A and B are shown apart, each in its own frame.
Chain A
């Protein structure tokens, strides 16, 4: 495991002359192969003729890799692990300080939509492996029964993901925000990241866009749809085990749902319809949501018997449900879900929210952009019509598309072809070897 010290690189910008240790991070023993610092200094933005101009500059090349996974949520972590297990070099980049994205940081703790009629679990593979690991932990996961949607503990899952990533010896960069795609013609060959170390580039053969917002494929110029959807902020309540037996009955929406930790519930928020790519709307949402949560918790505490309940935490990440959605080679359609359409290039099988309908197949084309190459979408931003938003955005459907994208990117890197020309049967075979369910 080589968790690169981003702060070390920052220090390098300021103290390069004095401390030989910081002079060239590429010389450090713990640095991954291919790290090379090209330049550390850059001209700042200037006002030219009343406009703010960013001068052209050469970027630090942070890293070179086979598969670059942008976004460390359920899709991204699974994609990175899958690609690594397929035998290529993988780099995983995450903007927050934890892995798991909305599954952990967003406190979306319920694994919704991995089962179909007949209590069959269709979302398997590495995501299922994570849940099995959680089972072995104390207070890691509850409701792991056939036909039921389990609920995980955020901290336990963060730990499990870190363990898995470190065991797999992945290159991970945390606190790195993907801000640009690096293009060679219409091929994506890496991405630019902003972090405490400044603006740096990572080059890769193939990129998996697991940002959820589709940042990379959008920046690369892939055709996509921009949707407004409701977004909210989730919180957790504590001390619910100290509620008296003769307590009143508060509004169910204040109480939320139980978690593996006794006395702790997670409480969802529907929230207003927003454009979650607009920072002003995001800010307003965050500010108002905090105020509303406090108000609701206060109201809950006024219910007789609930005086000891307290607001344990609000989610570190806003619960953004849908923003950008790829217009891929294939668009997932509700009519296909209802008809149970089978695709020859199936790479994942999705489930139903409440196990009340049949399984539905996700073909490889739903991950592949129409016009840009060497980038694959994974997670909630895969190609689907508006009606499909709710089905593709849930956690298990994110980790299965992540699994597919990771394996496909690895196969393409190994075969030296573009992700568009990848041999899907090879991908399917590898996915099955990694215990994914493909119908």
Chain B
């Protein structure tokens, strides 16, 4: 038994090291960062239901999901790096693990709420996934992302340190990933319990009704949350979007869904070679905090890159698996460029180098032809060709006559 436990510790240490190697990333395979949050069956289930599709990322989580059905909390015991860190802290804690036994299984409620909310396309609380929390602090080496990395580090630290005063509270009672595994293993447990009950009827009152009751209550709450989220929040958002909506990475799902589908793992921001994906901190969008936002100030979304699409574990930034980078960008526009004629030097009749047209990687910008009859000249942006990469926005500095309107407006 002891040898088996030691072997398990070795395996978990290896998993921790592997996760760090993938997230930093220490290998050339940068897209590998996706694997870490994607391996969570909680994320895989919720996102697949919410997007009504099975992405590559979801397939990564599938084996864990299947094993969890037959082996209760298999992932916690053999893989989870957050659990390992928590247990290390719990080991030095003077408090007994028995203290948290009587806490109700909140995690199950969170999972059920999220899963049922996913049915309406609006998964809640995905950001509570321990692997997403684990990924957050890895942005520390990336200058502009430092603030969000500290938030991630604080979250991970909080979860780990929580094990000191209350050992086991996170893992057993709160963690949605652990709760997902318990829920997955439940049919098998209930079945075996039924079998045992038919063998010895005295065991009948072994807590099944409480499980059922909580299950029902939680589901009802979750459906309410889902429906409320669907209609309440989007209704509010659509009224305000002009000022508050932000640019999302290419391939991002619709804005009403994005903030909830996003795990806040920071993979996309770290993967972006241009460094234009930044965490959102806007006070107007508290529900979207830490989600990726495009900031076109120093660089633009490169035409030869789909790194963010490749590393997203949740399908919030989705890609067509077979298309080339350039086509990816056109199929998943960030938005579309629009010329502010009041600021456009060309439209004002002044001298302009028309760099917007020169730099456009998609040849989406043409100039209105100057004639004696119509002596105006201004850029015309072909909406069918423009993916909103922002190259023209940079070229127009400091006039700022081009803005990118978010997709769908």
In the complex, the answer to whether A296 meets B370 with C-beta atoms within 8 Å is no
- Those 3 A-B pairs whose CB atoms lie nearest each other, nearest first: A253-B349, A252-B348, A390-B353
In the complex, the answer to whether A252 meets B349 with C-beta atoms within 8 Å is yes
- CB within 8 Å for A257 and B350 given contacts A230-B370, A272-B370, A292-B375: yes
In the complex, the answer to whether B371 meets A272 with C-beta atoms within 8 Å is yes
Q: How many residues of B contact A (CB 8 A)?
A: 18
In the complex, the answer to whether B348 meets A253 with C-beta atoms within 8 Å is yes
In the complex, the answer to whether A253 meets B376 with C-beta atoms within 8 Å is yes
Complex: chain A residue closest to B373, CB-CB = A292
In the complex, the answer to whether B372 meets A270 with C-beta atoms within 8 Å is no
- A267 contacts the other chain (Cβ, under 8 Å)? yes
Residues of A within 8 A of B371 (CB): 272
- B377 contacts the other chain (Cβ, under 8 Å)? yes
Residues of B within 8 A of A354 (CB): 397-399
Q: Mark A279-307, 1 if CB is under 8 A from B, else 0.
A: 00000000010011000100000000000
Complex: chain B residue closest to A296, CB-CB = B375
Residues of A within 8 A of B243 (CB): none
Contact of A270 among B353, B377, B398 (CB under 8 A): B377
Interface residue ranges of B344-375 to A (CB < 8 Å): 346-351, 353, 358, 370-372, 375
Chain B residues near A (Cβ < 8 Å): 342, 346-351, 353, 358, 370-372, 375-377, 397-399
A149 to B397, CA, bound (A): 15
Q: List 8 A-B contacts (CB under 8 A).
A: A253-B348, A270-B346, A272-B370, A272-B371, A272-B372, A291-B372, A292-B372, A355-B398
- CB within 8 Å for A353 and B370 given contacts A253-B347, A296-B375: no
Residues of A within 8 A of B377 (CB): 270
- The smallest beta-carbon distance between B373 and chain A, in angstroms, is 9
Residues of B within 8 A of A391 (CB): 353
- The smallest beta-carbon distance between B347 and chain A, in angstroms, is 7
- The smallest beta-carbon distance between B49 and chain A, in angstroms, is 48
In the complex, the answer to whether B349 meets A271 with C-beta atoms within 8 Å is no
A299 to B375, CA, bound (A): 13
A268 to B370, CA, bound (A): 13
- The smallest beta-carbon distance between A326 and chain B, in angstroms, is 21
* Interface size grouping (class) on chain A: 20 to 34
Residues of B within 8 A of A316 (CB): none
- A356 contacts the other chain (Cβ, under 8 Å)? yes
Chain A residues near B (Cβ < 8 Å): 110, 112, 230, 252-254, 256-257, 267-272, 288, 291-292, 296, 353-356, 387, 390-391, 394
A291 to B375, CA, bound (A): 12
Contact of B358 among A230, A271, A387 (CB under 8 A): A387
Complex: chain A residue closest to B349, CB-CB = A253
Complex: chain B residue closest to A112, CB-CB = B351
In the complex, the answer to whether B397 meets A267 with C-beta atoms within 8 Å is no
- The smallest beta-carbon distance between B370 and chain A, in angstroms, is 5
A110 to B349, CA, bound (A): 14
In the complex, the answer to whether B397 meets A268 with C-beta atoms within 8 Å is no
A250 to B351, CA, bound (A): 19
- The smallest beta-carbon distance between B210 and chain A, in angstroms, is 68
A252 to B358, CA, bound (A): 24
Residues of B within 8 A of A387 (CB): 358
- The smallest beta-carbon distance between A254 and chain B, in angstroms, is 8
Contact of A256 among B346, B349, B375 (CB under 8 A): B349
A267 to B351, CA, bound (A): 10
A154 to B150, CA, bound (A): 59
In the complex, the answer to whether A252 meets B342 with C-beta atoms within 8 Å is yes
- Other 19 A-B pairs with CB < 8 A, given A270-B370, A353-B353: A110-B351, A252-B342, A252-B347, A253-B348, A254-B349, A267-B349, A268-B349, A268-B350, A269-B375, A270-B349, A270-B375, A272-B370, A291-B372, A292-B372, A292-B375, A353-B351, A354-B397, A354-B399, A356-B397
Which residue among B351, B371, B377 has the maximum number of chain A CB atoms within 10 Å of its CB?
B351
- The smallest beta-carbon distance between A57 and chain B, in angstroms, is 43
- The smallest beta-carbon distance between B197 and chain A, in angstroms, is 78
- The smallest beta-carbon distance between B334 and chain A, in angstroms, is 23
- The smallest beta-carbon distance between B348 and chain A, in angstroms, is 4
Residues of A within 8 A of B375 (CB): 269-270, 292, 296
- The smallest beta-carbon distance between A146 and chain B, in angstroms, is 14
Residues of A within 8 A of B347 (CB): 252-253
A356 to B345, CA, bound (A): 15
Residues of B within 8 A of A353 (CB): 351, 353
A112 to B351, CA, bound (A): 9
- The smallest beta-carbon distance between B45 and chain A, in angstroms, is 49
Which residue among A257, A270, A394 has the maximum number of chain B CB atoms within 10 Å of its CB?
A270
- The smallest beta-carbon distance between A294 and chain B, in angstroms, is 12
- The smallest beta-carbon distance between B398 and chain A, in angstroms, is 6
- The smallest beta-carbon distance between A227 and chain B, in angstroms, is 15
Complex: chain A residue closest to B346, CB-CB = A270
- The smallest beta-carbon distance between A337 and chain B, in angstroms, is 12
Complex: chain A residue closest to B399, CB-CB = A354
- The smallest beta-carbon distance between B355 and chain A, in angstroms, is 9
A292 to B373, CA, bound (A): 9
In the complex, the answer to whether A271 meets B370 with C-beta atoms within 8 Å is yes
A62 to B397, CA, bound (A): 52
A208 to B86, CA, bound (A): 80
- The smallest beta-carbon distance between A384 and chain B, in angstroms, is 14
A230 to B353, CA, bound (A): 12
Complex: chain A residue closest to B397, CB-CB = A356
Residues of A within 8 A of B399 (CB): 354
A355 to B399, CA, bound (A): 11
Residues of B within 8 A of A256 (CB): 349
In the complex, the answer to whether A356 meets B398 with C-beta atoms within 8 Å is yes
Residues of B within 8 A of A288 (CB): 372
Residues of A within 8 A of B348 (CB): 252-253
Which residue among B348, B358, B376 has the maximum number of chain A CB atoms within 10 Å of its CB?
B348
A353 to B351, CA, bound (A): 10
- The smallest beta-carbon distance between B401 and chain A, in angstroms, is 12
In the complex, the answer to whether A269 meets B358 with C-beta atoms within 8 Å is no
A15 to B100, CA, bound (A): 122
A285 to B286, CA, bound (A): 59
Residues of A within 8 A of B351 (CB): 110, 112, 268, 353, 394
Residues of B within 8 A of A253 (CB): 347-350, 376
Which residue among B342, B346, B349, B372 has the maximum number of chain A CB atoms within 10 Å of its CB?
B349
- The smallest beta-carbon distance between B315 and chain A, in angstroms, is 38
A49 to B202, CA, bound (A): 132
Complex: chain A residue closest to B358, CB-CB = A387
A354 to B353, CA, bound (A): 10
Residues of B within 8 A of A390 (CB): 353
Residues of B within 8 A of A112 (CB): 351
